[in-house]
Chains A and B, each alone.
Chain A
């Protein structure tokens, strides 16, 4: 703390900090997880086994973790942002060579007790590192292209690694939430235009490097009927489930598409489809509304933060959350190719849940420490 002298006077007890927690946000998260429980219960044909109760246990554990992170002084996060990023990048590089193959992708690192997914760690680490980076740049500096080299490397290095794994969903997620931070940091708009142009130019160059199944997914997305029983089957069945749900749905436990196994991956990536089949447009929009409220919380917290680091961190987490929601829903409704991104708080699966809870912990932390001013550079006076 000595390196940020003017701020050491801002110290609160853990109890005081917990009283500052945005409990409204926590309630929203609990509602989402409750919907998750209900849908996982239904996905198992009316049984808490094997998914629903585990989901709740994980969520509860995630809640504790989230609150634990929220009370940690935001300046500590600033200080360890780069080291955390470095470790995450190291892990990503490590799985590239030693990772355990699973689900066709080398995303998992076997760590004796549990399996660690470095790409998940990276989602948080990147937000931290970029916030740390832009926190240190003045308005003018952000406008200088040379100053953008470091943040660009911060984004592209992990994105390239996960793309090689191959994990298209995470790569897109890193690029989009990173892009959001670039945007709110004040990077000139022409730079985004240039990046977009470069990206488009890279498509024909990158096509040969894509895996067959990735190309297949993109082609299938462009024309789902080209293989209705193969790759296009999932998205077609998902659309049938959604459409047949109609306005008010078929009723809890009564979704025919999901209960008769026409819907693939109903407990993970396609759980939104199941919700919308059983509860219709009303049910789908209800969950979407909860997500929007959570994101409004995120934006409000960011705007309220005194420190630029806090603001950027808040926006980064909110953007990550948004990208999760958007990609998942756009994917199951057939707007974008199937890339394998779970639905926040609802889909079964521990790692994404933990990532999001950690992120949201940071977000709540930003709120708790909203009045902590942090100088742009260590030792500077605010």
Chain B
């Protein structure tokens, strides 16, 4: 072999060894890289792989139910059957929808929405075609399942309020979470999740909501769920038992039907709210089903405000229902005795103004009890001036006016109890003594909610105990909370309650026509007719226009507060009929009917007939 070729072979061999060495270096780099990825960084990548494939799905907890005091359901969860379409399981979405449309009614808008969503989502994502299917519709779809590829019946839960509008302002309603309500809790971001928007549903939302469970699922790169890895059921929301009596609530709602009004019935010793009604009302089921724009506009645009709970958020001048407070302020301050007499001529001059009594001819000379009984305005002008607004205001506050009662409902308003300091702070003006006169008959700046008036009445009737209203029953076993005493003398309270007894039971009383004849159920009360607008001098000269002749929103509010039975008081009621006219003619009969019904339903009464609601007597028998 020639020398040249030997040289060539030697070079070849050397270079081959070098090349092999080079390859070895490169392969070592690969091995090193693999070691780095699979051993050194293994934990990190294992975590990333799990993040890739494991997705945590929240399982919404079933919402707690709400019962009335006797166990009747006020809010429940109903199964909501939905028909959903899974696009990838049907050869033709259009054909399937058409077949489905022959079995159950599907709106044209739904069809368009489904066809639109199909293109937006991945093919395995179920799209709701219709929800709230009736049982008949469900079975019709199920029977025809072979002809409906891709159609699945899906079961969810929906809030249902069996009483409908009757207890709407107590239970409130749930609806989809709005942007501003998001707290970062992922449960709230779940599609279709609903939270309490008003009433008990809102006040006790967290307790009712429960704790979300979760389900760990494995998903693929496209987000399709492959299987469930683990499941934690979560904790269902707590059930709530209310103090409310659904039967009484129904009765009251029927009694207020057609009026713009509110009524509250309380147990005067415990503060249990037995009925809390605002009329007109709205159907809370509409919110969970999803309200149409037009329906929402109708609710919002209605001048009688069906969404507003007038019992806690309607503020009205209490009118003569406030007179008990003025009396107590006078007696407790020691300024006056029950024997204080005033002669009523139908009007009183103060400064350069005349202040009128509701009775044009006047009441003649009256002592305190008669003044309450006949609700003489002139008498109260007189004593208000003697007592002074500050002492009246202080007494009003002791009876729960001017501040929220603290009832467990969202949206309660405070009302207003004016005094000198308030006037100075609010208007930067000195209190005029003329304003004291007006305050003495519960007009002017004075405002109170029906609930406040009921609480005030309860405190008058229970011997001056600072009872507060409550809607949720104290759980079994825990003690009734101790109720503070307001420190009002029994003698003073006796004057007031006796005056209230006479209002209803004395032939001269302003609400004599609304009395309860059954002595065991007899009630005591106080009428109130509060002016919405001022009656001008010229109108008074030409004759005050009759209430019925004025536009609805200029008519007087009719009020009545009452308690019963007189012998051993147990219940208090406040009724306000917006622009209803006279308290004695309009509000008193309603309060009478409510108190009678409340006592009939009292479980302590023999015979148990109280459990059965009776048809409300028609108004007009007063």
Contact = CB atoms under 8 A, between A and B. Distances in A.
B15 A184 contact: yes
A335 B45 contact: no
A335 B19 contact: no
Given A262-B53, A292-B27, A333 B37 contact: yes
A56 interface: no
B20 A299 contact: yes
A222 interface: no
A335 B29 contact: yes
B41 A319 contact: no
B143 interface: no
A285 B33 CA distance: 11
A256 B15 contact: no
B16 A246 contact: no
A243 B38 contact: yes
A247 B42 contact: yes
Given A185-B12, A256-B53, A329-B30, A244 B19 contact: no
A241 to B, nearest CB: 7
Interface string A174-205: 00000010011110000000000000000000
B15 A186 contact: yes
Interface stretch (B1-9, B168-176, B312-320): B1-9
Interface string B76-94: 0000000000000000000
A320 interface: no
Interface in B13-53: 13, 15-16, 18-20, 23, 26-27, 29-31, 33-35, 37-39, 41-42, 44-46, 48-50, 52-53
Contact of B48 (A244, A261, A330): A244
Contact of B1 (A185, A246, A295, A382): A382
A280 B34 CA distance: 9
Interface string A103-141: 000000000000000000000000000000000001110
Contacts of A303: 13, 16
Interface stretch (B152-160, B202-210, B215-223, B272-280): B215-223
A369 interface: no
Q: Report which residue of B30, B35, B226 has the largest number of chain A beta carbons within 10 angstroms of its beta carbon.
A: B30
Contact of B34 (A180, A261, A311, A333): A333
Contacts of B18: 183
Contacts of B38: 242-243, 245-247, 276, 280-281, 284
A261 B220 contact: yes
A261 B39 CA distance: 23
B11 interface: yes
Nearest to B45: A243
A326 B49 contact: no
A257 interface: yes
B222 A261 contact: yes
A237 B52 CA distance: 9
Given A139-B8, A242-B45, A260 B30 contact: no
The SS class assigned to the A binding surface is helix
B53 A239 contact: no
A308 interface: yes
A262 B221 contact: yes
A288 B23 CA distance: 13
Interface string A205-247: 0000000000000000000000000000000010111111111
A141 to B, nearest CB: 9
B32 to A, nearest CB: 10
A139 B218 contact: no
Given A138-B8, A260-B226, A285 B42 contact: no
A322 interface: yes
Contact of A311 (B12, B29, B221): B12
B53 to A, nearest CB: 5
Nearest to A184: B15
A288 B5 contact: no
Contact of B39 (A239, A247, A382): A247
A315 interface: yes
Nearest to A381: B2
A302 interface: yes
A20 to B, nearest CB: 22
Interface in B480-510: none
A336 B35 CA distance: 17
B36 to A, nearest CB: 9
Given A261-B220, A262-B52, A243 B1 contact: no
A238 B223 CA distance: 18
Nearest to B226: A260
B224 to A, nearest CB: 9
Contact of A330 (B13, B23, B30): B30
Contacts of B218: 256, 260
Contacts of A241: 45, 49
Interface in B215-248: 218-222, 226
Contacts of B52: 237, 240, 256-257, 260, 262
A243 B19 contact: no
B41 A243 contact: yes
Given A140-B4, A243-B37, A276-B38, A326 B12 contact: no
B8 A186 contact: yes
A142 B11 CA distance: 11
A250 to B, nearest CB: 9
A346 B52 CA distance: 27
Given A138-B8, A303-B13, A285 B31 contact: yes
B31 A288 contact: yes
Q: Report which residue of B16, B38, B50 has the largest number of chain A beta carbons within 10 angstroms of its beta carbon.
A: B38
Nearest to A179: B19
Interface in A238-297: 239-247, 256-257, 259-262, 276, 280-281, 284-285, 288, 292, 295
Contact of A276 (B4, B23, B34): B34
A139 B7 contact: yes
Q: Give the top 6 A-B pairs by smallest Cβ distance, nearest first.
A: A243-B45, A244-B49, A260-B220, A186-B11, A261-B221, A281-B38
5 contacts: A261-B222, A276-B38, A281-B39, A302-B16, A330-B30
Given A183-B15, A256-B52, 13 more contacts: A139-B4, A184-B12, A185-B15, A243-B44, A246-B39, A247-B38, A247-B42, A256-B49, A260-B53, A260-B221, A281-B35, A326-B27, A376-B5
